Amino acid sequence: MTSAIVKEFSELVKTRNGAEEQKTKPHLSPSQIRLFLDCSAKYMFRYIFGIRVPIRSYFIRGRAIHKGIEHNYRQKIESHEDIGLAEVQEAAAAEFESMLAEAVWDEDEDPGKIKDTTIELVSLYHNEVAPNIQPVTAEQFFTIDLGEYTLKGVIDLIDDGGNIRDTKSRGRTPSQREADESLQLTAYAMAYRELTGKKEQSVMLDNLVELKRGPKYVQLQSQRNEQDIRRFKNIANAVFGAIKGGAFCPNPNSMMCSEKNCNFWKICHETF
Answer yes or no: are the C-beta atoms of 142 and 181 closer than 8 Å.
Answer: no
Reported as a single tens digit per residue, the pLDDT across 42-77 is 999 999 999 988 888 989 999 999 999 999 999 999
Question: Which residues lie below 8 Å from residue 22, measured CB to CB, with a gap of 6+?
Answer: none
Cβ distance 204 to 164 under 8 Å? Answer: yes
- Give the HSE-up count for residue 132: Cα atoms under 13 Å, Cβ half-sphere: 8
Q: Tell me the pLDDT tens digit for each residue of 113-157.
A: 999 999 999 999 999 999 999 999 999 999 999 999 999 999 999
Q: What is the pLDDT of residue 22?
A: 44
- Per-residue pLDDT 10s for the chain (272 aa) are 455 555 555 565 555 555 545 458 999 999 999 999 999 999 999 999 999 888 889 899 999 999 999 999 999 999 999 999 999 999 999 999 999 988 888 888 999 999 999 999 999 999 999 999 999 999 999 999 999 999 999 999 999 999 999 999 999 999 999 999 999 999 999 999 998 999 999 999 999 999 988 999 999 999 999 999 999 999 999 999 999 999 999 999 999 999 988 989 999 999 99
Distance CA 79, CA 87 (A): 16
Contact 209, 216 (CB under 8 A): yes
Region label for 139, one of left (φ > 0), alpha (ψ between -120 and 50) or beta (otherwise) = left
The phi, psi pair for 167, rounded to 5°, reads -95, 130
CA distances in angstroms from 94 to 30, 63, 105, 140, 253, listed in the order given: 27, 11, 19, 22, 37
Between CA 16 and CA 63 the distance in angstroms is 27
Phi and psi torsions of 141, nearest 5°: -75, 145
